Structure formats: structure tokens, C-alpha cells
Amino acid sequence: MKKIKLIKPDDMHLHLRDAIYLKQTVPDAAKRFARAIIMPNLKPPVTSLSAVMAYKQRILAEVPEGTYFEPLMTLYLTEEMTPEIIREGRASGLVSAAKLYPAGVTTNAESGVKSIERMMPIFREMEACGLLLLVHGETSDPTIDIFDREKIFLEELSKLVAACPNLRIVLEHITTRDAVDFVISHPKNMAATITVHHLLLNRNDLLSGGVKPHYYCLPILKRQVHQQALITAAISGDPRFFLGTDSAPHAISQKECASGCAGIYSAHAAIELYAQVFEAHNALDKLENFASRYGAAFYGLPENKEIITLVKRPWRVPKHMIFGEASLVPLYADQEIGWSLATDLEE
Ligand code: DOR
Ligand code: ZN
């Protein structure tokens, strides 16, 4: 049977949420990933070092015994952030990056940043102390067409790059050819994460033949040409593009309603689905670098020691997953995935 071995990957963009959600989100991630960059858009957002520390402890409490999983924590940037918190977060080693959400741009982004200009002292401090900036790259201008919000934001990002040329930036969950080109044309200090749902789906999957609320995420799925550009970037072997799932659980009641939340849950099958995409494009040999090396290198982390094995054996994703009192429809619900984790087959 066909098998592939990989250095245990890192998920460089993950929403674990909190409370009861951690009981499922943490074991799902820890099975597949040795480390993950944990998003701070909780309610209220994670804006202080004490909140970072407490959240990290809540996550670690749910790591299954015998499993190594390191949550790499992030700070949520508001306009009240201070250079001291940035400096202290970096110096303590507790914080791996800070996340910029333009205000209101996505789930729990209400407390985000209204003016990049006003944040310059923070970005200068991050540049000076070497803390990474993670960017939700969409304009929050509601008059801009939702399909153009990433492209338009890149103009703002250019100004920030020019003002802080040594700031290390990860453009998160890119969705367009424009973002791929932007990263390639800024070779210094710039990288991007690519989700598995943006590799697997385009806006026809979301909108054609009936609206699919479980495919609604932000940035929204784009045209097929953009999906193709993301696939090309992911399998290119360019170390500036690496794995970040943006897996984000939302209960069915929050998705199947008049104003549904953005977010797709993929942590239950993430590496298996990336393997499926890479295989479909004859690029399985590129998967390990994308999933296990390039992200770590950009973050200045050592390679993970553990190995995972994927086996070419199909399994069917459940229709629903139970999260405490909530139930959720995961990515690929009731569909077959060609690759299994060897550890799942042993269970
Ligand atoms: O689809 C998304 N869900 N995109 C985001 O930017 C946030 C995330 C979430 O927090 O649920
Ligand atoms: Zn996210």
C-alpha cells in the first residue's frame, strides 16, 4: 500500500476557539501537527500577556497524554496595544507573532485596527525586536466589492512594507493570484500561508447550484484562476508559501442562518486533504517542505523530530461532529478522502 512519511507538520494559522471547543480542536490539531500558530480572535480578544499565558494553559490542558503539541501564541493588535507589551512578549518568548485584523473584516475582528497609520509605533517596535506580523489581508472598507478586498488591501500593505522594510510579515490565507504575485515581488521578509480549502474550492463551489454556507469563509473563495494560482504557488517549492489551515469551527446554528459566520473546520483531516491536493497535481514530493519545513524556517524554529505516516487508504468524513452541545459540519463532510493517518488505522 502506498505510504508517505513526513516530518510532523506545523499549522501556521489555526483557530482553536475556547472552552468546550478545545476538547475537539486541540486533539484534532495535535494528531497532525507538532506546532500551530494560534489565532487570538477570541471574545474578548487576546491582547495582553496574561491573557496569552492563560489561553496557552487552557490549550495545553487539552493535549492528549503522550502527544507532543506546542501552541505558538499570538497577540491581537488593537489600537490600544503598546510597544512595551510587544517588547515584553518577544523577550519572554511567550509570543510568536502579532495579528493585524483590519477592524470588522472578519469573525471577532471588531476590536481590530482602523488606521494602519496610527499603528506605526507598534510596527516599528516589532521590526526592531523581530516579532512577526501576521496580516488578515483584506480591506475593511465596506464599499469595496467582497471579491476585491484582498487585492485592494495589497496597496495598503505596500506602504507598510516600504515604511518598515525589515518587518517580517506573513500574509495569511491568501486567495488571489494578486497576493501570490505580491509575495513573490517582495522577496525580503514576506511569506504567505495557504489553506487547504482555498486549494480545494473556488467560488462556484460556494455559490453555484445552491448556496453552501459551510463553504463560506473569509477571505471569500475566489474564481478558479485564483485557485489555480494558489495551487501553483503551494506546489512550486518556493519557501515563502507554506501551510496554514485557518481551520475555524462554527456551530451549524451559526452557519445555517440568515447571517452566517465565516469559517471552515478542517483540523479533523487537514494534512490528509493537503496530501490529496498535492497528489492530484503530481507534487507529493513537494508536500513535506510546504507542510513541515518552510513555515518553521520562516519563524526561525527547528525542524520537528517526530514523523507522521500517511497511508493511501480511503475514509469517509462524518456528516457532523459534536462539540459539547453544538454540532458542526466539517470540511469534506460525508465525502471520501484518499489518505489516512497511519495512527488512525491502528486505533
Ligand atoms: O473564515 C474565517 N474564519 N476567516 C477568518 O478570517 C476568521 C475565521 C474565524 O475566526 O472563524
Ligand atoms: Zn484565521
Domain-wise residue ranges, the chain:
9-303
Which protein residue has the closest C-alpha to ligand 1 atom 4? 218
Query: How would you write the pLDDT of the chain (347 residues) with one tens digit per residue?
Result: 799 999 999 999 999 999 999 999 999 999 999 999 999 999 999 999 999 999 999 999 999 999 999 999 999 999 999 999 999 999 999 999 999 999 999 989 999 999 999 999 999 999 999 999 999 999 999 999 999 999 999 999 999 999 999 999 999 999 999 999 999 999 889 999 999 999 999 999 999 999 999 999 999 999 999 999 999 999 999 999 999 999 999 999 999 999 999 999 999 999 999 999 999 999 999 999 999 999 999 999 999 999 999 999 999 999 999 998 899 999 999 999 999 999 988 86
Ligand 1 site, residue 107, Cβ cutoff 6 A: yes
Residue with cell 525589515: 166
Which protein residue has the closest C-alpha to ligand 1 atom 3? 263
- Cis check: omega of the bond before 302, within 30 degrees of 0: no
Greatest extent of the chain over all pairs of C-alpha atoms, in Å: 57
Ligand 1 site, residue 111, Cβ cutoff 6 A: no
Ligand 1 site, residue 15, Cβ cutoff 6 A: yes
pLDDT reported for residue 1: 75
Q: If 0-12 CB within 10 Å is exposed, 13-18 middle and 19+ buried, where does residue 275 land?
A: buried
Separation between Cα atoms, residue 177 and residue 146, nearest integer Å:
16
Q: Which CATH architecture has domain 9-303?
A: Alpha-Beta Barrel (3.20)
pLDDT reported for residue 346: 81
Q: How far is the centre of ligand 2, averaged over its atoms, from the C-alpha of 160 (Å)?
A: 21
Separation between Cα atoms, residue 95 and residue 81, nearest integer Å:
14
- The C-alpha cell of 295 is what? 513555515
Phi and psi at residue 54, to the nearest 5°: -65, -40
Phi and psi at residue 113, to the nearest 5°: -95, 130
Q: How far is the centre of ligand 1, averaged over its atoms, from the C-alpha of 219 (Å)?
A: 8
Ligand 1 site, residue 262, Cβ cutoff 6 A: yes
Query: Which SS3 state, helix, strand or coil, does residue 257 take?
Result: coil
| Residue numbers annotated as active site | 246
pLDDT reported for residue 187: 87
Predicted TM-score of the model (pTM): 0.98
Q: How far is the centre of ligand 2, averaged over its atoms, from the C-alpha of 13 (Å)?
A: 6
Q: How far is the centre of ligand 1, averaged over its atoms, from the C-alpha of 182 (Å)?
A: 22
